[in-house]
Amino acid sequence: MKKVFISVILIAVVATPIYFFLLREDSNDSSAQHTNEETASLDAKDKRGSLVEFEYLDTFTKNQISRSNANFYSRAAVPQAQYSVDRYSISFNSTEDDGEPLIIKSQLFVPKMQEGTEAPLYVFGQGTTGLGDRCAPSREVPEVSNWGNYRAHMLSYASKGYIVTFPDYEGFNDRTRLHHYFNAELEGKVLLDSARATFNFFEEEDFPVAPAQSIFFAGYSQGGHAAFAVKDLASQYAPELPIKGVIGYGATTNVTAMIKENPTFAPYLFYSYSDHYGEEIVDPAELLLPELLPTLRGNTITICVGDIYKRYGYDAKRIYSPSFYDALYNDRLDDEFPTLKKVLDENNSGYLSSDIPSLILQGSTDPIVTLKSQKEFINQMCSSGNNLTYLEYAGVHHYQTRQVSFQDTLDWMENIVNGQTPKSDCGKFIN
């Protein structure tokens, strides 16, 4: 495979305050050409989180953010913006699960704070948006199709004095591949390298504000899966990062539970897993109804989350093959689909023991991540010796979890930044 090596060149553009990092291919320098796979892997490892390019996008005033908050937090206490926010687009290097390099795109939200201020870093993973490029979260236009109104979410935290980075997952913005859905390793690496890239960004440019030695990884729904993958991966993949906590808003961490409770998303998952692991490991023809197969590829890579329910509905019997339906809902996957079950289990996140504190925020009437599956996850986390804070909101749906928990999340992070260790709630779940 031909290797592309990155040279960093800074170009000042006089007309606009935009800066770029450019790619250059070294074609004749034999010292730069690595044919040894181990050397190439080490080269990719050294570049994790390094910047490829960045550019200034726009600025949001406090008044604009407060109006955005009034819409996004319409069913909760509406936060008032303390700071205006600059937004940047960043591309950076990450790695495949086999060590091959990837380029990831992220949005960075920087509060306009007093000179010399250090602000905690908040890294966010989005919920399900789809598999194809048109469904990349950076392309969301909430006024047209609201997949989570992620820009409003990021602005609300940035305007409270957090540097916020919001990466698109692996596979987005790349015509040669699709997003590999609920792949714990790839999700975790993207979030960790996004944090690295943010620190590198501030080293390149002179800003009044800089990231403090306090990083929080957060995620909503699928993004909760990614945030807890960070907890599992961090000590090996990014031990240098000063991680202070992980946060899950209606987090989906168990992949088997996800396809039990949300069969609508199973076509995304099975097509993605088939593409990543191979049909000999995950064969959609064994798992889905025959009539869904001819359009599976086209639907899963073109239909974003706002329309996926219209295509597949909610009824598992209209999605799953009879044999898979029977094995899934009677807990016989280990016996009847052992290869698939192994892949599903390998992609669960959050179960490993870690000294990173965790915050789980859950609505009691959440139909997408049910209270039952969330408490099963909490029991397993606590049994592994994790420090976990759990907050449950009565009568709150999945779609409102982020909004009602905003102030609680800020308080939890602020206490940690101020040196406090969160009191674990595990005593309520295990004896």
What are phi and psi for residue 282, nearest 5 degrees? Answer: -130, 105
Residue 431 is predicted with a pLDDT of 59
Angle at 81 between CA 77 and CA 83, to 5 degrees: 160
Residues 356, 181: Cα–Cα separation, whole Å:
25
Give me the helices (H) in 278-429, please.
284-287, 296-302, 305-312, 322-329, 333-336, 338-346, 371-383, 401-404, 406-417
Q: What is the pTM of this model?
A: 0.90
Of 357, 419, 410, the residue nearest 388 (C-alpha)? 357
Name all domains of the chain by residue range, CATH numbers in brackets.
Answer: 10-254+348-428 (3.40.50.1820), 256-346 (1.10.260)
Integer distance in angstroms from the first to the last C-alpha of the chain? 54
The contacts of residue 389 (CB under 8 Å, 6+ apart) are 357, 358, 359, 360, 412, 422, 423, 424, 425
Q: Crossing angle, helix 266-277 and helix 305-312, to 10 degrees? A: 110
- Sequence length of the chain is 431
Give the residues of the chain that fall short of pLDDT 50. 1-42
What are phi and psi for residue 260, nearest 5 degrees? Answer: -70, -45
Residue 147 is predicted with a pLDDT of 96
Give me the helices (H) in 159-280, please.
184-204, 222-237, 255-261, 266-277
Whose structure tokens read 């602020």? Answer: 414
Are 185 and 229 in contact by the 8 Å Cβ rule? The answer is: yes
Tokens of 136: 């990349």
CB atoms under 10 Å from CB of 89, counted, come to: 15
Whose structure tokens read 């049910």? Answer: 370
Cα–Cα separations (whole angstroms), residue 409 to 123, 425, 426 = 13, 15, 18
Are 204 and 56 in contact by the 8 Å Cβ rule? The answer is: no
Cα–Cα separations (whole angstroms), residue 155 to 82, 162, 194 = 11, 9, 18
Whose structure tokens read 């550019």? Answer: 55
DSSP letter assigned to residue 318: G
